[in-house]
């Protein structure tokens, strides 16, 4: 027998493919810990729970490990949802909305409300005309299987509303919770002066743009990229050919320390959802340089005193921006990151759906 919904969402079910790293998964763990701290029961179904983020699993949160790191393993989610009987299921990002649709279809009318956060870019410049059409069509199906749609910024919500053909008031705007410093997290050995990039080593991030820009700068400076991924070997080869110092420490549990010491944080991505790395850098007073990879970037960097936004394919503009922040300029004052009340805002949404 299902619990009395008049009490709200007392039990929340979340899920993820792995704990190898990634902004979506880190945000899920932060939210899960805060929800538990606010008195809710939280269960996480994780395909492979043995990655580096395991150390960030909050105490008190129940974890069901499927023992497999492939996306298909998450097809088991409906079975576990039926077994643990949550009041609401949380889909933590765009990568996982297919699992949400599968769960809705498998459980039918017995499916608890599903809230989905759309974390990826709505407009994907890496898609051709056909894939752009397919992607837009897929997004328009989301309201059929999601009871609540969450965007992480006002600009992202406006884009989603147009694509999904919803009233923007039907989309909740809830930013990711800010990263909390980890006291016991190891800090990699870093050069005395460096430009920092934080993110997976994958084609989307376009770290190659940054490597190509470094030799054109007015002074010699090292490049540090915190993250891991398929492009590691290619980036190492490119850096060697360009004759620059490239440090690849891999995944770092807490990048805040490296951010605070960096000359600047750069994000040369082709596309992003709402890049939290920019907010994290500004929270410690480190200037940022970013491509116009998302409409949310202008929301995060509303003033040139905080950082510089450059066109994605303008190599000269990227070099000029990096040179500016390498010069004798005043570092910005720390900016309080958004999302300090995000866990409570999610709970308010969850409770409204379970009581409906």
pLDDT of 185 strictly over 80: no
Tell me the whole-structure pTM to 2 decimals: 0.87
Q: Is there a domain that residue 185 lies in? A: no
- Same-domain check for residues 96 and 38: yes
- Same-domain check for residues 123 and 244: no
- Same-domain check for residues 305 and 348: no
Q: Is there a domain that residue 244 lies in? A: yes
Per the prediction, the chain carries an average pLDDT of 93
pLDDT of residue 184: 57
**pLDDT band at residue 5 using 50, 70 and 90 as cut-offs:** very low
- Same-domain check for residues 99 and 239: no
Per residue in 269-322, pLDDT (tens digit) is 999 989 999 999 999 999 999 999 999 999 999 999 999 999 999 999 999 999
- Same-domain check for residues 37 and 99: yes
- Same-domain check for residues 21 and 124: yes
Give the span between the Cα atoms of 349 and 354, in whole angstroms. Answer: 9
Query: Structural domain tally of the chain?
Result: 2
Q: Is there a domain that residue 90 lies in? A: yes
- Same-domain check for residues 322 and 345: no
- Same-domain check for residues 209 and 71: no
Q: Is there a domain that residue 85 lies in? A: yes
pLDDT above 70 covers a percentage of the chain that reads: 96
What number is the average pLDDT over the span 94-113? Answer: 97
pLDDT of 130 strictly over 80: yes
Domain span at residue 85 reads: 5-177+339-355
Per residue in 144-184, pLDDT (tens digit) is 999 999 999 999 999 999 999 999 999 999 999 988 766 65
Q: Is there a domain that residue 333 lies in? A: no
- Same-domain check for residues 322 and 343: no
Other CB atoms within 10 Å distance of the CB of residue 98: 15
| Sheet containing 246-250, strands listed edge to edge, beginning at the edge strand earlier in sequence | 246-250, 222-226, 194-198, 264-267, 288-291, 307-310
pLDDT of 113 strictly over 90: yes
- Same-domain check for residues 138 and 252: no
Question: Which CATH number characterizes residue 300's domain?
Answer: 3.40.50.2000
pLDDT of 6 strictly over 60: no
Q: Is there a domain that residue 136 lies in? A: yes
pLDDT of 96 strictly over 90: yes
- Same-domain check for residues 205 and 109: no
Q: Is there a domain that residue 349 lies in? A: yes
pLDDT of residue 124: 84
- Same-domain check for residues 271 and 344: no
60-81: burial string, b at 16+ Cβ within 10 Å, e else:
ebeebebeebeeebbebbbebb
User: Maximum CA pair distance of the chain?
Assistant: 69
């Amino acid at each position: 027998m299902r619990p009395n919904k008049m009490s709200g969402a007392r039990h929340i079910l979340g899920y993820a493919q792995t704990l190898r790293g990634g902004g979506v998964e880190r945000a899920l763990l932060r939210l899960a810990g805060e929800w538990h701290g606010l008195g809710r029961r939280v269960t996480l179904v994780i395909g492979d729970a043995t990655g580096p983020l395991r150390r960030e699993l909050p105490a008190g949160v129940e974890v069901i490990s499927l023992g497999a790191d492939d996306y298909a393993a998450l097809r088991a989610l409906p079975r576990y949802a039926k077994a643990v009987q949550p009041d609401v299921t949380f889909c933590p990002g765009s990568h996982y909305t297919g699992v949400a649709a599968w769960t809705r279809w498998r459980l039918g009318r017995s499916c608890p409300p599903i809230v989905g956060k759309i974390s990826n870019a709505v407009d994907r410049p890496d898609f051709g005309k056909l894939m752009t059409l397919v992607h837009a069509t897929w997004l328009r199906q989301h309201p059929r299987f999601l009871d609540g749609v969450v965007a992480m910024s006002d600009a992202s919500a406006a884009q989603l509303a147009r694509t999904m053909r919803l009233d923007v008031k039907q989309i909740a705007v809830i930013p990711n919770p800010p990263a909390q410093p980890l006291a016991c997290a190891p800090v990699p050995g870093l050069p005395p002066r460096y430009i920092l990039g934080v993110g997976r080593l994958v084609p989307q991030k376009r770290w190659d743009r940054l490597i190509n820009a470094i030799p054109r700068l007015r002074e010699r400076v090292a490049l540090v990229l915190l993250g891991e991924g398929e492009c590691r070997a290619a980036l190492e080869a490119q850096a060697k050919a360009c004759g620059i110092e490239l440090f690849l420490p891999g995944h770092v549990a807490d990048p805040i320390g490296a951010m605070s010491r960096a000359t600047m944080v750069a994000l040369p991505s082709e596309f992003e959802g709402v890049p939290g790395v920019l907010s994290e850098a500004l929270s410690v007073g480190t200037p940022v340089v970013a491509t116009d990879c998302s409409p949310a970037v202008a929301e995060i960097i509303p003033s040139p005193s905080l950082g510089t936004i450059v066109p994605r394919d303008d190599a000269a503009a990227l070099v000029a921006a990096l040179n500016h922040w390498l010069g004798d300029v005043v570092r910005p004052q720390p900016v309080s990151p958004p999302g300090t009340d995000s866990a409570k805002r999610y709970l308010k949404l969850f409770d409204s759906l379970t009581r409906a």
